[in-house]
Each structure stands twice: as structure tokens, then as C-alpha cells.
Amino acid sequence: AVAVAAAMLSLDFLDDVRRMNKRQLYYQVLNFGMIVSSALMIWKGLMVVTGSESPIVVVLSGSMEPAFHRGDLLFLTNRIEDPIRVGEIVVFRIEGREIPIVHRVLKIHEKQNGDIKFLTKGDNNAVDDRGLYKQGQHWLEKKDVVGRARGFVPYIGIVTILMNDYPKFKYAVLFLLGLFVLVHRE
Amino acid sequence: LRKNVEDFTGPRERSDLGFVTFDITADILNGKKCMVFFLTCIHLQSIFDWNVKQLFLYLSAEYSTKNNALNQVVLWDKIMLRGDNPRLSLKDMKSKYFFFDDGNGLKGNRNITLTLSWNVVPNAGILPLVTGSGHVSVPFPDTYETTKSY
């Protein structure tokens, strides 16, 4: 019975599409393209304003609990005028690894010319991050930093984690969204 | 080696922060390392409103050496959740993290400044870093301690 209902629903959709003439269909496709471009522009704009290559990140681990939990969303800035100081929460990448880490700065040593090396530690970890760095690497540098956490919103990032862990879920969401935009009369 | 005893209070616009007494005992075990003991009485009030989930408190030492124009080292930190006792009375605390310098800049360094700061973690929103008013300067002696005495 479920299969029959699904078949009937999809037929309904197709009828709607057939009723639209070609011009309306092209219009819908353009609309869709506009939405995607606007989203991209907003994202790029955020990158420029914050100075960070990834202005919004999702917390993936529990190493900063109880402040941040898996699924929390962090807003980052990475302006050069803001120097790195202890106590700040930084998002950094270790050379050769793709996944960025969100931890707090524990120590900094900065030279006269602005060269800085620093050490990090997760609030919920017992030891500092030296064990996580590359073999032979004892400090992080400015180039490893993706951004500094300036604000956050809890829970919302869970959607991204779900989409990563269950790719079928991601495809289903994208498919439904695309379908909705294409078919919706307005 | 008792190096320094200071007494000061500092009011802030959002809270009353009182720093009462400060004992610092510094032992330099080798060229780079030192253990710092301290006695502090801290009182944090009215920072905790409905949107404050926790405070991440940390005591940091800031100083300058020949090698590096600016060094900052966190000696101790604590997570204080909303609902925890806002009065902290810590006596004779050992530093939580090793106070290593990048080089031998602690020997004879007359001006190490210790400040207490905190990161306000809201339920949602901006994550500010606030520095408590008042700080203590600690000088380190010119010679190394050869015996372990902590």
C-alpha cells in the first residue's frame, strides 16, 4: 500500500511539471540557480569579512566540553590585526590532516617581529595537544590557524554531522530541496 | 622562597572582583622551569546571568625575554559552571601546568606579571575574554635552585 501511495504522489509531481510550459520550467531552473549563487555569495562574503577560510565550523568532538558539544556551531574570525593570546579558542589544522581542531591556547611565545608560536589544549583533555601535532612539531604557528571562535550557537550543527555520517541522508535532503524548488509554482 | 605578598581589590562594571591576598613562592628547578605557588581569594558575582553557561577562568603569566618580546603562559585554569559556588578561596595552589620558558628567560627576570582572566561561555552568542583588574608582578631570582623543595 505504501508503494502505491508513493507511486501516486510521484505521478502528481510529474503532472504538475507537465502542466508548466517550457518558459515556466526555464524560469524555475533560473530561480534555482539564483538561490545557489546567492548562497555562495553570502558564504564568500563571510570569508572576506571575517578573514577566515571557514567562517562557520561545527564542533566534532567532545574535547571542549562542557563549553562546546558535538554539533555546536562556531563563528570564527581570523583578522591579522587580532593577535593570538592565551585563553582564546582557536580552530587550527595540523599539517597533513584535513579535519580542523577546536581547542584553547595555553602558551604563546611571540618575537619582536610578530612571529608567534603557541601551544593548545582542549578544556576536557588532561594533557596539552603536543601529542596531536605532527611528528617533531612542538608548536603551532599563525599559518595553522583557521580562525578564532568569537561566538557560538548550540545544537544546530548536528544536521551537518548527520549528513556526513549518513550520506544517504544528505542525498535525500538535497534531492527533496531541489525537487521542491523546481516544482513549486511560485 | 617567598617572593612577593600583595594586596589589592578591583571592581569591574559587570562584577565585583576582589583579589585579597597573594602569596607567591617560586622555585626554579632548572634554567627553564619554575613552580609557582599562590594563595588567592577570588569572588565572582553578577557575571552569571541567564545567558552565561560557564566561565573558563585562567591565571596567566606574562613576561618578556631576550628571545621573545612577549610570552604568555597559563599556569592554572578552572571551569566554573553556573550554579557553582562563585567564591573561590584557593590556598597554596601549585601551578597546574609547567611554567616552561622558551629559552632561559626566567632567570633574573624581574617582571613577570600574573593576571586572572576568564572566558565567558554563553548559552548562545558571543564568547568574550575578560581580564580581571589588578595583577601581581613577580620577580625571579638570579640563581637556580639546585634542590627540589616544593
Q: How does pLDDT run across A110-151, given as a tens digit for each residue?
A: 998 889 999 999 999 888 888 888 887 888 999 999 999 999
Q: Which of B127, B129, B131 to mutate to test the interface with A (most CBs of A within 10 A)?
A: B127
What confidence score (pLDDT) does residue B14 get?
27
Least reliable range by pLDDT among A142-146, A155-159, B89-93, B124-128: B89-93
Q: Is A174 exposed, middle or buried (0-12, 13-18, 19+ CB in 10 A)?
A: exposed
Determine contact, residues B1/B26, Cβ cutoff 8 Å: yes
Grid coordinates 626554579 are at which residue?
B28
Q: Which residue has the higher pLDDT, B86 or B78?
A: B78
Q: Which residues of B1-16 are buried (b: 16+ CB within 10 A; e: fewer)?
A: eeebeeeeeeeeeebe
Q: Which of B74, B102, B126 sits opposite A86 (nearest CB)?
A: B74
Q: Residue B17's beta-bridge partner residues? A: B10
Contact A150 B73 (CB under 8 A): no
Q: Which residue has the higher pLDDT, B124 or A10?
A: B124
From the CA of B127, how many Å to the nearest CA of chain A? 5
Distance CA B62, CA B116 (A): 11
Q: Which of B56, B68, B127 sits opposite A109 (nearest CB)?
A: B68
SS3 content of chain A, % helix, strand, coil (to 5): 40, 20, 35
Average pLDDT of span B62-75:
85
Residues of chain A with C-beta less than 8 angstroms from the C-beta of B98: none
Kindly tell me if the per-residue pLDDT of B73 is higher than 80: yes
Residues of chain B with C-beta less than 8 angstroms from the C-beta of A89: 119, 127
Q: Write the CB contacts of B46 (distance below 8 Å, at least 6 apart in sequence).
A: B14, B15, B16
3-state SS string for chain B: CEEEEEECCEECCCCEECCCEEEEEEEEEECCEEEEEEEEEEECCCCCCCCEEEEEEEEEEEECCCCCCEEEEEEEEEEEECCCCCEEEEEEEECCCCCCCCCCCCCCCCCEEEEEEEEEEECCEECCEEECCCCEEECCCCCCCCCCCC
* Interface residues on B facing A, Cβ-Cβ cutoff 8 A: 53-54, 56, 58, 60, 67-74, 79, 81, 97, 100, 102, 117, 119, 121-127, 129
Q: Which of B80, B99, B119, B120 to mutate to test the interface with A (most CBs of A within 10 A)?
A: B119
What confidence score (pLDDT) does residue A74 get?
92
Q: Which residue has the higher pLDDT, B104 or A63?
A: A63
Residues of chain B with C-beta less than 8 angstroms from the C-beta of A150: 126-127
Chain A to chain B, count of Cβ pairs less than 8 Å apart? 71
What confidence score (pLDDT) does residue B10 get?
26
Determine contact, residues B134/B19, Cβ cutoff 8 Å: yes
Q: Which of B60, B62, B40, B46 is nearest to B120 (CA)?
A: B46
Does the CB of A128 have a partner CB in chain B at under 8 Å?
A: yes
Confidence of residue B118 (pLDDT cuts 50, 70, 90): confident
- Angle between helical axes of A167-183 and A2-19 (0-180°, round to 10): 40
Determine contact, residues B118/B86, Cβ cutoff 8 Å: no
Give the range with max mean pLDDT: A111-120, B93-102, B130-139: A111-120
Q: Which of B75, B98, B102 to mutate to test the interface with A (most CBs of A within 10 A)?
A: B102
Does the CB of A123 have a partner CB in chain B at under 8 Å?
A: yes
Determine contact, residues A90/A78, Cβ cutoff 8 Å: no
Per DSSP (E only), the strands in chain A are 56-58, 73-77, 89-92, 101-110, 116-121, 140-141, 145-153
What confidence score (pLDDT) does residue A45 get?
92
- Give me the phi and psi of A148, to 5 degrees please: -105, 135
Q: How does pLDDT run across B9-65, given as a tens digit for each residue?
A: 222 222 222 222 233 322 222 223 344 444 444 555 566 778 888 888 888 888 888
Average pLDDT of span B95-118:
73
What phi-psi label fits residue A124: left (phi over 0), alpha (psi between -120 and 50 degrees) or beta?
alpha
Distance CA B92, CA B85 (A): 19
Distance CA A108, CA B62 (A): 9
Distance CA A99, CA A167 (A): 18
- Tally of CB atoms within 10 A around A123: 20
What confidence score (pLDDT) does residue A27 get?
85
Residues of A with catalytic function: 63, 103, 129
What confidence score (pLDDT) does residue B42 get?
53
Residues of chain B with C-beta less than 8 angstroms from the C-beta of A154: 123-124
What confidence score (pLDDT) does residue B15 get?
23
The parts of chain A modelled with pLDDT lower than 50 are: none
Distance CA B73, CA A106 (A): 6
